[in-house]
Chains A and B, each alone.
Chain A
């Protein structure tokens, strides 16, 4: 009797799991939430993410350049740091970053924690340092209390990044129409969008922009099938060198992390230099330099339609 009961429970668990987990076998997989997050830690990260004291002159918080409501970027080709300093590179979105295999365009940070420290110390971003930030936060009793409740050693640089990273792990745009389609929901994608997805795959975009994040899990050379920079014109900036800046190896020049296309539809301009103002432009440029092909305008429209279906939901995200 007892054995039967065990078997029954086992079957129930297995079947529910199987039902919940079923997705189409596609190179793109649906986004999932991180259920292991400590909500208090994430809440503290939220406060810190919006805390201007992390910048030297208390003018800029993380959220200054990563505007959560519009898609996690500032919509500019180059962001503005403290005292009006102009950054060298297009700010990437903070949404869905937990699925990226490395952080930054050049992959110099292996984790979100390592990433969070970067802008704080960057002279043209927040231009501060932990000592300064800790002394400022240390004067705020509620901040001290929050840290003391979560960490044995209170406010430290490491703990600040741990909290911010935890918050960033919560920034996942779930339930996009495309993901719902992946999970088998009928009628969520239009014919045009499905056509766009097919084109996306057949043109080979999918070769690099795949996985849960539709990108973000590999590096690629920009201009694999044509000289992107010659055609773009203008000086080659240090930012254009990509991963070379990290490894100093000649073969790593113009080698970038392939960005996620999850929120590409709402986060223009495009590429590390923000040179493509519209998504249509970006698709066209990508076809030209990465695939060596000219994609007809109607097909670009279809692909763009598909890319819009990738945009999911988040409570802070109000597109």
Chain B
């Protein structure tokens, strides 16, 4: 209803504003047109005034009343302006008018033109009038008679000036002629007379000219032209006004018609409105009497129509439901009071879903809801109360769910036994799906174990209306058999007639199986050879099996009720039992060997397993002990131990047996005063074979090596596999050292011969270290250590040779051990210090980098050479922590120097390959850089060539990790190793350091010089930076700079020095550049 009102209002407004617009347009248009007319009229009026003013001024000029012409200038300027304005008036689009105006302007231009002449002519005439009496007076002095005549002439001339009569002009001309002919009284008189006459002549001429101009001027009919213009203008204006009036009448009519239409529209709308109102009330009544709740919302979500039921359905909306209420307001009031479900029972989201769905309100009532769009975009909502049917449905569903979720199979058949329903449990148990089972006879489950009589009995019971109980041995769909206990009873209708049978069945197969299992367990319990004893939570024996009796001698009745301690042998202490029970209580079991005592008092070893059986609360309820007598087994162990002394792969004595043998041999040698020789053999290249060809090949190789070594010695000598690829030969009763050396050489020779493994030819080598008892050492461990040391010496001598252990070796070993000890202490005692040596750019005399060098200030030995303690630190692994300490210290120092103003300084720190093995990672370096705030490119890591040569792939990976941080990598001692171009290319190296050994003899040594030149060229080609170390003289420096190596390091520039000294040196360097 409101909508209709709104529409009618809108339409009438539209019509009304249309009318107003028409009127406004008309007025505007009219006003605009009249403006131009008014303007033109106004200008024409001014034009007429100016024209008149011009005429007036012309008259004033010719009457010599105007003494100056400025007013005329103003008038003509004004006319020019008017001309522009009038010519630009749009009304001049009338061609006739434009022509008339043009004619007027032509006339006006001519007038102005003549005016100009008049101005000049009038000036001339006026000057003449003024001058003639003066000139005449000159005549008076020379010729009084002529003067009199002249006065008369002038008189008539002035009269003529006043009254332009023809008689006058004739008189003047005759008088003039007379005067001209007059003979002068003197030549002077003639001259004066002629001059006066010339002026009179001129004046007369000018006067005539002026008169003519005036006539010409006045003859120009500008006024007449103006009248034409005016008349035309007026005519145009009248026509225009007439047109306007006509237009106004038409437009007024249009407006009237529009207004009429408007009135009509409003009337018809009112009528329609009444109709609608009536229909509305009918509809309202109809809606009000609906049993359903009803609400209609318009497109803007406003409530248009609803019935009382709607309010009853949603009681909380009582104060909110009124015509015009907004749907969203209602929804917000409703909040969570309503839960929407689809007809299928799934949750429905969205505030007001379109279509049918179910609503459950907070009171528990159920509504069938239906929302649908109206044609105009509104929503119509219908709700019917289905709470009762919903309740019934819920009850049914509950019962249904009982069936569905029942742990027992349920089957319903009709009286003919045709299956009408089976529940999911049935499906699960039988393997038949509901679809397969329904319509079938229960016979499909039959396994055939029941007799016909039994079935008949069952049917009779059922048909008699009684319940039947029994067991079925049924067959599943897959053919397997299962046990069911069933209860079948008839269902009756209201009349008491049997309509269905319902069978409730339980699968008892598992139960049956469990019974079988128990039976079997009991048998095992009775018959097993292992003794079983079960104790209760208080650890009193509950039960024992016959084997228990057999092993222990105790009958069950003797054991039951007693503690297991009756079996205690007394061989185990209290702690043993405590740990046993700890294990049982903590882990739930214990397994191990235990000595127990039989009834007869004899002690026997048994292998015992105890398991705790936890109750429902997790605490042990029972303990089961199973044990077997292992007296015999014990006896076998000795054999096994023996076997453990031999290497399984080669069959040679292993390390422990060797140790035994060596000990025995030392004993014998002492007694017999023999000498012993111990040969330590280490295979070279074995690792490579193992890594390259695999363990199978490696094992095969070791076997062959073992037999070759065995072939080199007497049977009385011992050949043992010491571990990995290490073998040891123990020679007894040695007298001749040459013979020992011979055996060593024989062993080496036999090993370096080719091995053929799986069709492959393989070469390996061996290094042998020899030590002699009692010359070198008197106990087994020392002998083995000496032999090992000698073997390393042999390796150091270039492999495939043997070395005897010597006293100096011993000395070194001791010293080394001492040094190692000292080094460990040195770290703690702060004896290590970082020294710094600068690298100088010789061409710029500027420090480019500083190398951090480790220095050990030993309290007794003084400064220990890094060449001595660094390898030691590498060997014993100390290099790991020392290396990290150096990196950290050097970076901190560099950071300090940066802060002190040496911002361009870089730092080089040495890196050992052992540091990789000891776990120095890029992460550590990153952390140090981060802590010290250094940018990575200021740090260079220096490593030896040998580092690059060893374990190439791992080394590359390792170095690439550092490189990725952005630090530079430098190769130290370049040229001493085997570095080749190919090697360098593989590594992310930035800088080469030419080893001092090449620099030493520069530039005198030709070989060194050419080598260094080669290195420089190579570095250039690889785009690597170069540093030469060990520069000690100016000659060396000059030579190096000459060949293109400008970064130099050495005593010539500066020795390594402490951080403090370096700081002083740097300051000096900065202040006195070039003083080095």
Closest to B127 in A: A204
Q: Is the CB of A291 within 8 A of B73?
A: no
Q: Is the CB of B73 within 8 A of A217?
A: yes
Q: Give the chain A neighbours of B80 by CB distance below 8 A.
A: 110
Pick the interface stretch among B115-123, B406-414, B499-507.
B115-123
Asked whether any CB of chain B lies closer than 8 Å to the CB of A210, the reply is yes
* B761-799 contacts to A (CB < 8 Å): none
Q: Is the CB of B120 within 8 A of A208?
A: yes
Q: Give the chain B neighbours of A311 by CB distance below 8 A.
A: none
Looking at the assembled complex, report how far the CB atom of A250 sits from the nearest CB atom of chain B, in whole angstroms.
14
Q: Give the chain A neighbours of B120 by CB distance below 8 A.
A: 208, 218-221, 224
Q: Is the CB of A217 within 8 A of B202?
A: no
Q: Give the chain A neighbours of B281 by CB distance below 8 A.
A: none
Residue in A110, A203, A207, A293 whose CB lies within 8 Å of B123:
A207
Asked whether any CB of chain A lies closer than 8 Å to the CB of B273, the reply is no
Asked whether any CB of chain B lies closer than 8 Å to the CB of A238, the reply is no
Asked whether any CB of chain A lies closer than 8 Å to the CB of B76, the reply is yes
* A191-229 contacts to B (CB < 8 Å): 202-204, 206-208, 210-212, 217-221, 224-225
Q: Is the CB of B127 within 8 A of A101?
A: no
Asked whether any CB of chain B lies closer than 8 Å to the CB of A292, the reply is yes
Residue in A27, A206, A219, A224 whose CB lies within 8 Å of B124:
A224
| B109-138 to A contact mask, C-beta < 8 Å, 1/0 | 000000010011011101100110000000
Asked whether any CB of chain B lies closer than 8 Å to the CB of A29, the reply is yes
Looking at the assembled complex, report how far the CB atom of A189 sits from the nearest CB atom of chain B, in whole angstroms.
19
* B65-81 contacts to A (CB < 8 Å): 67-70, 72-73, 76-77, 80
Asked whether any CB of chain B lies closer than 8 Å to the CB of A109, the reply is no
Given A27-B67, A218-B120, A220-B123, A202 and B73 contact (CB-CB distance below 8 Å)? no
Given A217-B72, A224-B124, A291-B131, A210 and B67 contact (CB-CB distance below 8 Å)? yes
Give the docked Cα–Cα distance between A45 and B130 (Å): 45
Asked whether any CB of chain A lies closer than 8 Å to the CB of B687, the reply is no
Q: Is the CB of B76 within 8 A of A101?
A: yes
Q: Give the chain A neighbours of B199 by CB distance below 8 A.
A: 292
Give the docked Cα–Cα distance between A220 and B72 (Å): 16
Closest to A220 in B: B120
Give the docked Cα–Cα distance between A212 and B77 (Å): 16
Asked whether any CB of chain B lies closer than 8 Å to the CB of A182, the reply is no
Residue in A28, A211, A221, A293 whose CB lies within 8 Å of B131:
A293
Q: Give the chain A neighbours of B127 by CB distance below 8 A.
A: 203-204, 207, 291
Give the docked Cα–Cα distance between A132 and B1034 (Å): 75
Give the docked Cα–Cα distance between A210 and B123 (Å): 11
Q: Give the chain B neighbours of A99 by CB distance below 8 A.
A: 70
Give the docked Cα–Cα distance between A253 and B130 (Å): 27
Asked whether any CB of chain A lies closer than 8 Å to the CB of B198, the reply is yes
Interface size class of B (residues with CB under 8 A): 20 to 34
Looking at the assembled complex, report how far the CB atom of B656 sits from the nearest CB atom of chain A, in whole angstroms.
103
Looking at the assembled complex, report how far the CB atom of A292 sits from the nearest CB atom of chain B, in whole angstroms.
6
- Interface of chain A: mostly helix, strand, loop or mixed: loop
Q: Is the CB of A212 within 8 A of B130?
A: no
Q: Is the CB of B70 within 8 A of A218?
A: no
Give the docked Cα–Cα distance between A293 and B202 (Å): 13
Q: Is the CB of A218 within 8 A of B119?
A: yes
Q: Is the CB of B69 within 8 A of A211?
A: yes
Looking at the assembled complex, report how far the CB atom of A271 sits from the nearest CB atom of chain B, in whole angstroms.
17
Residue in B69, B77, B198, B202 whose CB lies within 8 Å of A210:
B69
* A278-305 contacts to B (CB < 8 Å): 291-293
Q: Is the CB of A29 within 8 A of B70?
A: yes
Q: Give the chain B neighbours of A28 by CB distance below 8 A.
A: 68
- Interface of chain B: mostly helix, strand, loop or mixed: helix
Q: Give the chain A neighbours of B69 by CB distance below 8 A.
A: 210-211, 217-218
Q: Is the CB of A204 within 8 A of B123?
A: yes
Q: Is the CB of B70 within 8 A of A212?
A: yes
Q: Give the chain B neighbours of A208 by CB distance below 8 A.
A: 120, 123
Q: Give the chain B neighbours of A204 by CB distance below 8 A.
A: 123, 126-127, 130-131
Q: Give the chain A neighbours of B68 by CB distance below 8 A.
A: 27-29, 210-211, 217
Give the docked Cα–Cα distance between A29 and B68 (Å): 9
* B573-601 contacts to A (CB < 8 Å): none
Give the docked Cα–Cα distance between A225 and B131 (Å): 13
Closest to B122 in A: A207
Given A29-B68, A204-B127, A207-B126, A292 and B198 contact (CB-CB distance below 8 Å)? yes
Q: Is the CB of A211 within 8 A of B202?
A: no
Q: Is the CB of A101 within 8 A of B131?
A: no
Q: Give the chain B neighbours of A202 by CB distance below 8 A.
A: 130
Looking at the assembled complex, report how far the CB atom of A158 sits from the nearest CB atom of chain B, in whole angstroms.
14
Give the docked Cα–Cα distance between A221 and B126 (Å): 16
Q: Is the CB of B77 within 8 A of A292?
A: no
Given A28-B68, A211-B69, A212-B70, A225 and B126 contact (CB-CB distance below 8 Å)? no
Q: Give the chain B neighbours of A27 by CB distance below 8 A.
A: 67-68
Residue in B76, B130, B202 whose CB lies within 8 Å of A292:
B202
Q: Give the chain A neighbours of B70 by CB distance below 8 A.
A: 29, 99, 210-212, 217
Give the docked Cα–Cα distance between A89 and B68 (Å): 27
Looking at the assembled complex, report how far the CB atom of B406 sits from the nearest CB atom of chain A, in whole angstroms.
97
Q: Is the CB of A207 within 8 A of B124?
A: yes
Looking at the assembled complex, report how far the CB atom of A254 sits from the nearest CB atom of chain B, in whole angstroms.
12
Closest to A25 in B: B67
Closest to A225 in B: B202
Give the docked Cα–Cα distance between A14 and B767 (Å): 139
Closest to B69 in A: A217
| A151-180 to B contact mask, C-beta < 8 Å, 1/0 | 000000000000000000000000000000
Q: Give the chain A neighbours of B130 by CB distance below 8 A.
A: 202, 204
Given A210-B68, A219-B120, A101 and B202 contact (CB-CB distance below 8 Å)? no
* B38-82 contacts to A (CB < 8 Å): 67-70, 72-73, 76-77, 80
Looking at the assembled complex, report how far the CB atom of B1075 sits from the nearest CB atom of chain A, in whole angstroms.
59
Q: In the complex, which of the residues B122, B124, B130, B202 has the most CB atoms of chain A within 10 Å of its own CB atom?
A: B124
* B797-817 contacts to A (CB < 8 Å): none
Q: In the complex, which of the residues A202, A206, A218 has the most CB atoms of chain B within 10 Å of its own CB atom?
A: A218
Q: Give the chain B neighbours of A221 by CB distance below 8 A.
A: 120
Closest to A218 in B: B119
Give the docked Cα–Cα distance between A217 and B112 (Å): 13
Give the docked Cα–Cα distance between A208 and B130 (Å): 14
Closest to A293 in B: B131
Looking at the assembled complex, report how far the CB atom of A293 sits from the nearest CB atom of chain B, in whole angstroms.
7
Give the docked Cα–Cα distance between A26 and B68 (Å): 9
Looking at the assembled complex, report how far the CB atom of A21 sits from the nearest CB atom of chain B, in whole angstroms.
15
Give the docked Cα–Cα distance between A207 and B125 (Å): 10
Closest to B129 in A: A204
* A232-291 contacts to B (CB < 8 Å): 291
Q: Give the chain A neighbours of B131 by CB distance below 8 A.
A: 204, 291, 293
Closest to A100 in B: B73
Give the docked Cα–Cα distance between A99 and B70 (Å): 9
Closest to B72 in A: A217
Give the docked Cα–Cα distance between A203 and B124 (Å): 11
Given A292-B198, A292-B202, A101 and B123 contact (CB-CB distance below 8 Å)? no
Closest to A214 in B: B68
Give the docked Cα–Cα distance between A276 and B126 (Å): 26
Give the docked Cα–Cα distance between A217 and B116 (Å): 9
Looking at the assembled complex, report how far the CB atom of A212 sits from the nearest CB atom of chain B, in whole angstroms.
6
Closest to B123 in A: A207
Give the docked Cα–Cα distance between A173 and B197 (Å): 43
- 4 extra interchain contacts, Cβ-Cβ under 8 A, other than A101-B77, A292-B202? A204-B131, A210-B67, A224-B120, A293-B131
Task: Using CB atoms and an 8 Å cutoff, list the residues of chain A in contact with chain B.
Answer: 26-29, 99, 101, 110, 202-204, 206-208, 210-212, 217-221, 224-225, 291-293
The 8 closest A-B pairs by CB, nearest first: A204-B127, A207-B123, A210-B68, A211-B70, A27-B67, A101-B73, A211-B68, A27-B68
Query: 28 A-B contacts, Cβ less than 8 Å apart?
Result: A27-B67, A27-B68, A28-B68, A29-B68, A99-B70, A101-B76, A110-B80, A204-B123, A204-B126, A204-B127, A204-B130, A204-B131, A206-B67, A207-B127, A210-B67, A210-B69, A211-B69, A212-B70, A217-B69, A217-B70, A218-B69, A219-B119, A219-B120, A221-B120, A224-B120, A291-B127, A292-B198, A293-B131
